[in-house]
Structure 1
């Protein structure tokens, strides 16, 4: 059965790579190396890594993978030159740009609003977001959950200063939440699904009614400018890997569970929260929404200065004529 699955995946990969757009036919040579930063919940990246799609497509490029606990740590590594490409939520690049990092947005996945939530204990007296006033809320500072929380508070008529923020990594936040050292936890999948299936929690709010831009793919500007066509090929490969969660759902669940070290029901729940999507260049509508998010964080004194998102948006040369 496993051999059959491997054959099907290899056939799918070969078919996909042969039908890629003109980027794969370009004369620009692939670079000698690509260092990719990824997170445990980066489904498309984890699947691409597990199936060695990039290694097979670019046999002359040394592909290396570095796992990070969250986006802020990943972009710190990207800024100092430890990796070349990474994927994060919407907020880490805002913090990185405000800190002076010369990173560029090379692609975006549409928002998956059901894959990020604010959790409270099942028997908590907190019934609405407005009830968070005065309470301790754990989350990773500078992460997409930071944005989820800020926008949820704004929607409920509260200010960020109305709560007691507790800045913790996902693993530390989970421990604090389970030990009742905090009252709520803003977190993304698969941590969310793991907590949900463990029991004793309740979803206070997800991102369904909030403005979220999605997940971004970022690169160091010099690397992107030198390897534009290659980057587009890499992003195409990630999109194809993500599609496996629908076309080969159970096989993908089994593989992701093994790779992430999580039970299959957790992975199944996670995939239920995030339908597969295609990575695309950052368009004007996405840029406007991301700028609004950056302005919101500045207005709440969460970043030290105003930034201009458009100065960090990179467009592949082949799409310059179609750029809106």
Structure 2
């Protein structure tokens, strides 16, 4: 057989040589290793709040890992995603976290924050004759099962001398619950920010009973046990970025509120109202945080939402420090 001269395209390939030829010659497992060189963090979010915060503050610059965002309308579907391993981490309130843990979700709180709980509230239509939580006896309240809206409803009626069975709970997602309230098919809607501020500023609802004085105002960044084991440095970096972004946001209220409104798609006045009154601050997971969370678990057991007592100490990972700033 005679030797043939390489074709023009073949000669160009050989001339270019180097990197292209090297990459082409790599076995499949080596190419996969290169593709996986940057870790992937699967981050859940509620109503775009966490992502909006980080984007507004420039908190996603210089990442050494990639983020795959998934947005959820409430904590319950986010908790389901954590349980399924569809996301590694996400923000979740104290009551929904209890509900998820009681259901067997393998997740821990790695960061804690406190905020004013006024925006976690039971809402009624502006023309409703109801004036207090005590008047909810025999009335219907829409909320997400196991949510902080569910929690504030029960806390408000118990504080008013009623029992859980004195009201009719209808478990609906936020959009459906709001529609049910505005159409008059339920008497009240129990929800949280930014839904509360949006309903107030749009004139669709007013606060009948707020969580201020009833709730500890705790929420968390939670992560699955699997993610903590495999991606601890990534989670540590992500948490610190969230903390720094929160500190930046309160130094730049107007700028952040405008960005928040644009990213999550609500009017600027609603974005600013819910942000300013929350006064959110990240705090160390200390004895008081654990005690307050235990109180929430005990209340859920008292009203029958969880069947067995829960020792919350084991549901925290205190190895993730909060940077001062």
2:312 counterpart residue number? 309
CA contact (8 A) 2:56 2:256 kept: no
- How many residues were matched structurally? 286
1:280 to 279, 283, 287: 283
Query: Deviation above 4 Å: which 4+ runs of structure 1?
Result: none
Tell me the distance in 2 between the aligned counterparts of 1:317 and 1:51: 21
1:16 counterpart residue number? none
Larger Rg: 2
Shift of 1:318: 6.8
1:173 counterpart residue number? 177
- Residue ranges of structure 1 left out of the alignment (5+ in a row): 1-29, 320-324
Shift of 1:167: 0.6
Q: Is 1:46 aligned with 2:52?
A: yes
2:241 to 237, 240, 250: 237
Residue 317 to residue 71, structure 1, CA distance change in 2 (3 Å): closer
Deviates more, 1:74-83 or 1:249-258: 249-258
2:43 counterpart residue number? 36
Shift of 1:276: 4.0
Tell me the distance in 2 between the aligned counterparts of 1:218 and 1:260: 22
Shift of 1:229: 3.9
Residue 234 to residue 200, structure 1, CA distance change in 2 (3 Å): closer
What pairs with 1:140-289 in structure 2 (closer than 5 Å)?
Answer: 140-277=144-281, 279-289=282-292
TM-score for both structures, normalised by structure 1: 0.83
CA contact (8 A) 2:141 2:189 kept: yes
- Residue ranges of structure 2 left out of the alignment (5+ in a row): 1-36
Supply the RMSD in Å over aligned alpha carbons. 2.0
CA contact (8 A) 2:138 2:168 kept: yes
Tell me the distance in 2 between the aligned counterparts of 1:229 and 1:176: 44
Deviates more, 1:183-192 or 1:221-230: 221-230
Shift of 1:37: 0.3
TM-score for both structures, normalised by structure 2: 0.82
